[in-house]
Amino acid sequence: MKITVVFIGSLINKMRFSEKDYILPDNSTLKTIIEKLGLEDYKKNRKLILRNGKPIKEDDLLNDGDRIVISHIYSGG
Amino acid sequence: MKGWLGNILRVNLTDKTFRKESFSEEFAKKWIGGRGFATKILYDELKPGIDPLGPENKFIVALGPISGIPAPNTGKAVVAAKSPLTGGYGDGNMGTYVSIHLRKAGYDILIVEGKADSPTCLYIKDDEVEFLPADEIWGKGTYDSQKWLYEKFGKQVGAMTIGQGGENLVKFAIVRSLEGRAGGRPGMGAVMGSKNLKAIVVKGTKDIPVADPEKMRKDGKEGMKEAYQTDKKIGWSKQATNGVLAWCNETNTLPVRNMRKTSHPDAWKIDGQRLDEARVATYGCPNCTFHCGITIHDSEKRESELDYENIGLLGASLEIFNLQDVGSLNYLCDDYGLDTISAGDVLAFYADAIDHGATEGDFKFGDAKRAIEILGMIAKREGVGDILADGSYRAALKFGNNSLDYAMQVKGMEISAYNCKFLPGMALAFGTSPIGAHHKESWVITYEISETPREAYSQQKVDKIIELQRIRGGLFEFIVSCRFPWVELGMDLNIYTKYFKDATGIDYTLDDFWKIADRIYSLMKLFWLREDPDWDRTRDYVPEVWFDPANADKEGPIAGKILEKDKYDEMLTLFYDARGWDDRGIPTMETIKRLDLEEEAKSLPEEAKLK
Ligand code: SF4
């Protein structure tokens, strides 16, 4: 399946891309992609992950066409 | 008394007099500073019904017990007065060296009364006060005015000034300081203008006595270092507040086309990454170790300092997706001394009103050139600019044709850059913001989207709104400090009880602070009630267009979704119950007693009885 990963904020500089498609085996979870990207510390570093604009847990299965957005935990300035 | 100087400087511009007054420790402990001081003083000293732009109004600069002391982001000041935009209590929180110098001159509070007979620059140097002519800079923008002030007084002063917007009584004129700092959205610049007060310059040279100087120095220094290191680690200031633009676009919360749309394919052109790439300088407030003022060259090669609110409303909401053009609009707002949030909303409202046939005109969404011209007309009150200068609420009343439905304002003040057509919690946060719609009071969007069902109208959201109002609209506004070390970097709120104790010697808990925050919010409501004894809950409603199914997104993740008015109203009841307010949104007698506001309640007119 194909999923799209989008970075918002300073992670773009660290990861060196802002949007990329990934082909993943079926039964992949959010954890699969977190490990692939080396972002295990995302919570500690105040990052938030949404799928198609909605919350997602690490064990949730990904679906073909999902858009995973990884950003700073914005708090409204 | 330690931490506070215990002094008020009261200046009268009409007869050019001044006097130093003291306040009691009881007053200090009950109201702490900043917004707390300003609300109490304006409530006590202003007669209900006075003209906000008349000499009876008072312009206040109020500081807190850690203002001016080296600790994270303490270089802020609250400016306050009765608002010409809303008719209620109004204030703003701005970065300025006035906070440091006024305290070093020996004052926690400056109250300016009356009206000067000609343009005046108020110069405060320790115990001395001078009323200097400011004719040379009257009619000039804030950049030239600031330059003139620096030439005259040197750079080692605190200075605030207004532009043509304030002089011409634009109801959303702000006060400016330093390169890009501005404050006082509810028309505080117009209040200065109405007094012929072009600038305030302060030079203070004394020490600020604190209870435990050594610990204050150590804790303050450690906090500033922690803020610096945390920011470096998480990289927040790289895109600073504008990081959120791309996120709003992803989550369908971006204000596009007068908030009729929630995202736009061109939003990336003005997002945080593009802003960072265009950066030519970075500015910030005093005592801050992670400056967030990202500055670019605008289309005329002038430096323009941008943040998300500017870009969201002068860019996305106007469908102007060129950063340099947005920079120009922002530069002009800063130079004229206009609030960028209201200016963006007012321009978007005007384009929308023309679109919907409510009025005639030649302004269209996306037209940066005409937007620049209209901004100038607003600042000078020329042509249609004279109508728009009164804000979108009053302009809508003039245009008629149901245009009030899509004037994006609450209580007369324009809504910050978040589109809440399908965000019940944030809509309620705007609705219940006590000075009119402002994101500084409570901001719950991330919580609402990531930790609750977005469509819920729940107690859980209400509790979060109140929790954040106590912190953002309470603590940071009365202790007078920038909230970003906590809100963006995640620093522990208990640092503020620690600094407070270092400065004053008083051991307040966060719960003590929340009670003070509730007291201030409730007094603001009494201020409204005294102005308008017919006050009712509809004043806490958001614009009709957010309840209109015809305005729901036609496509995308929130297609067909819109706020539901009956459910919003039920959530408002939950909010009032949690705050101890009646069904009008006014504190009950029991709440008044719990918050020690019985004396204040005595001045309410008979017909505005408390329940
Ligand atoms: S983070 Fe930004 S707004 Fe806050 S004190 Fe620093 S420069 Fe000022």
Ligand 1 contacts CB of residue B484 (under 6 A)? yes
DSSP 3-state assignment of B231?
helix
What global pTM score does this model have?
A: 0.97
Substitution target in B270, B290, B446, B447 with the highest count of A β-carbons within 10 Å is B446
pLDDT confidence of A46, banded at 50, 70, 90?
A: confident
Q: Which of A10, A55, A74 sits opposite B247 (nearest CB)?
A: A74
CA B9/CA B468 separation, integer angstroms = 32
Put simply, the answer to whether B450 touches A48 (Cβ < 8 Å) is yes
Q: Are B77 and B64 in contact (CB under 8 A)?
A: no
- Other residues' Cβ atoms within 10 Å of the Cβ of residue B233: 12
CA distance to partner chain A, nearest, from residue B450 (Å): 5
CA distance to partner chain B, nearest, from residue A4 (Å): 13
Measured from the CA of B485, which atom of ligand 1 is nearest?
1
What's the rounded mean pLDDT across residues B553-580?
97
pLDDT per residue as tens digits for the range B16-37: 999 999 999 999 999 999 999 9
- Map out the domains of chain A with their CATH numbers: 2-72 (3.10.20.30)
In DSSP terms, which residues pair with B12 in a beta bridge?
A: B17, B113
**B591 DSSP 8-state letter:** H
pLDDT of B26 reads: 98
More confident position, B608 or B353: B353
pLDDT at B408 over 80: yes
pLDDT confidence of A77, banded at 50, 70, 90?
A: confident
CA distance to partner chain A, nearest, from residue B253 (Å): 10
Ligand 1 contacts CB of residue B285 (under 6 A)? yes
pLDDT per residue as tens digits for the range B361-397: 999 999 999 999 999 999 999 999 999 999 999 999 9
In A, which residues are within 8 Å of B234 by CB distance? 10, 45-46, 72
CA B356/CA B539 separation, integer angstroms = 25
Measured from the CA of B285, which atom of ligand 1 is nearest?
8
pLDDT per residue as tens digits for the range B127-182: 999 999 999 999 999 999 999 999 999 999 999 999 999 999 999 999 999 978 99
DSSP 3-state assignment of B500?
helix
Ligand 1 contacts CB of residue B491 (under 6 A)? no
CA B263/CA B351 separation, integer angstroms = 18
* Residue nearest atom 2 of ligand 1, based on CA coordinates: B292
Ligand 1 contacts CB of residue B462 (under 6 A)? no
- Looking at every residue in chain B, the average pLDDT score rounds to 97
CA B21 to chain centre: 28
DSSP E strands: which ranges in B298-369? 303-306
CA B133/CA B16 separation, integer angstroms = 12
| CATH code given to domain B7-203 | 3.60.9.10
Measured from the CA of B286, which atom of ligand 1 is nearest?
5
Return the C-alpha torsion angle B551, B555, B556, B562, nearest 10.
20
pLDDT confidence of B415, banded at 50, 70, 90?
A: very high
Kindly list the residues of chain B whose beta carbon comes within 8 Å of any beta carbon in chain A.
Answer: 233-236, 238-239, 241, 243-244, 246-247, 250-252, 272-273, 307-309, 418, 439, 443, 445-446, 449-451, 454, 484, 487-490, 557-558
Cα–Cα distances (Å) from B566 to B404, B455, B539, in that order, read 20, 14, 15
Q: Are B54 and B44 in contact (CB under 8 A)?
A: no
In B, which residues are within 8 Å of A77 by CB distance? 241, 244, 307-309, 439, 443, 484, 487-488
pLDDT confidence of B608, banded at 50, 70, 90?
A: confident
DSSP 3-state assignment of B307?
coil
pLDDT of A44 reads: 87
In A, which residues are within 8 Å of B307 by CB distance? 77
Tokens, residue B474: 């309470």
pLDDT per residue as tens digits for the range B441-470: 999 999 999 999 999 999 999 999 999 999
Between β-strands B120-125 and B197-203, what pairing exists: parallel, antiparallel or unpaired? parallel
pLDDT per residue as tens digits for the range B499-557: 999 999 999 999 999 999 999 999 999 999 999 999 999 999 999 999 999 999 999 99
Q: Are B377 and B371 in contact (CB under 8 A)?
A: no
All structural domains of chain B with their residue ranges: 7-203
Ligand 1 contacts CB of residue B95 (under 6 A)? yes
